[in-house]
Amino acid sequence: MSKYETLAKYEETVFRRITGVTRKTFNKMVEILTTAYNSKHKNRGRHSKLCIEDMLLATLEYLREYRTFAHIAASYRIHESNMYRTICWVEDILIKDGTFALPGRKTLLSDDSDYVVILIDGTESPIERPKKRQRRYYSGKKKRHTIKTLVVVEKATGKIVCIFFAYGKKHDFKLFKESKLVFKPETLVQTDSGFQGIQKLHVNSEVPTKRTKNNPLSKEEKKRNHKIASERVSNEHRIGRIKRFRILSERYRNRRRRFGLRFSLIAGICNFEINYNSHLENCSTVEIASNTKLVGAFHFQFLDTMCAVSC
């Protein structure tokens, strides 16, 4: 019996707690990997000892728990190098398929997009101390070596539009200027206090007012800051959802060249689940509306029948 067959018997909530994704997302990933695997081994090639489900489950365990390849390989009874190649193959196939790809920066100016409010925030992921050029990775805020990520989120749906990466030493606003993001004039951009001066680049922006030693905040300014913070809290929730995968929250032990790929893949998985949940909400709303109409029609028919009997 494969490891997935045992996990498939669990409830939906337990399944998501272990893998980090819903069963619907897992099945979609299996479908993508099966197509790629059959195409790869159509005429030649030695087949893997693991089934497609176990290959995907091992990858999700690695991203979710961030155990070493040796620990995961031991649990599946294969060699450590084989597990490394398997996880890299799964990551590459999922990111190349496009199902879990991010919309991208070009959608911010496209005519098809209707982004009303955009939320921007930065986050840092700790890494091991580099052997070379340590200063550029050292974050004075975190007091450790990090990789900084700029996350752009649409407020209405909570989807991640695009992400940008830089050294931990770089300031959030400097990273924003280097990203060269351009928005429509009617799009409202909300950020935290680390983006002072963004109004010069995009007029329709809201930034909290910073207090100084000689100029404390007034009651109106505190109220405005609280309003902005309450409106952009969904961006913090989205970053927290991404960092449930411990590979992005704990100290990153791998080579940094695949960090962006893994961050983009996890962000795309979050967007996919948001689309699926919104689809379920729309279906349930339509079902409730249709049931309400049926109940109303039955009620009026019942009243007409009672009136006819009384007459």
Residue 293 domain flag: no
pLDDT at 214: 86
* Cβ 12 vs Cβ 19: under 8 Å: no
* Cβ partners under 8 Å of residue 245, min gap 6: 20, 63, 64, 66, 266
The residue among 124, 18, 14 whose CA lies nearest residue 67 is 18
Same domain, 199 and 72: no
pLDDT at 302: 44
pLDDT at 290: 54
- pTM value? 0.85
Same domain, 131 and 248: yes
Same domain, 72 and 165: no
Same domain, 239 and 119: yes
Residue 304 domain flag: no
What's the burial of 105, exposed, middle or buried (CB within 10 Å: 0-12/13-18/19+)?
Answer: middle
Same domain, 58 and 130: no
Residue ranges with strand state E in the chain: 117-126, 138-139, 144-154, 160-167, 188-190, 205-206
Q: Is the dihedral of CA 57, 58, 60, 66 positive or negative?
A: positive
State the pairing for strand pair 117-126/188-190: parallel
Give the end of a domain, one of 71, 97, 123: 97
pLDDT at 300: 47
Distance CA 119, CA 146 (A): 22
Residue 289 domain flag: no
Same domain, 62 and 109: no
CA 179: distance to chain centroid? 19
Residue 253 domain flag: yes
Residue 146 domain flag: yes
Same domain, 76 and 156: no
**Maximum C-alpha span of the chain:** 95
Same domain, 120 and 242: yes
Domain coverage including residue 177: 105-273
Same domain, 89 and 148: no
Same domain, 116 and 24: no
pLDDT at 13: 92
pLDDT at 240: 92
CATH code assigned at 167? 3.30.420
Angle ∠(290,292,295) on CA atoms, nearest 5: 110
Give the end of a domain, one of 74, 97, 120: 97
Same domain, 44 and 189: no
Residue 264 domain flag: yes
Please report how many Cα atoms fall inside a 13 Å half-sphere around the Cα of residue 121, on the Cβ side: 21
Residue 82 token pair? 């084989």
Residue 284 domain flag: no
Same domain, 24 and 165: no
β-bridge mates for residue 125, sequence order: 147
**Local mean pLDDT, 10-residue blocks, the chain (311 residues):** 86 93 94 92 80 95 95 94 95 94 92 89 94 92 94 93 94 93 92 91 92 89 92 90 94 93 95 78 50 50 52 46
Q: Go through 159-176 and write b for each residue having 16 or more CB atoms within 10 A of its CB, e for each that does not.
A: bbbbbbbbbbbbebbebb
Angle ∠(157,168,203) on CA atoms, nearest 5: 50
Total domains, the chain: 2
Residue 308 domain flag: no
Give the end of a domain, one of 43, 76, 97: 97
pLDDT at 303: 43
* Cβ 252 vs Cβ 259: under 8 Å: yes
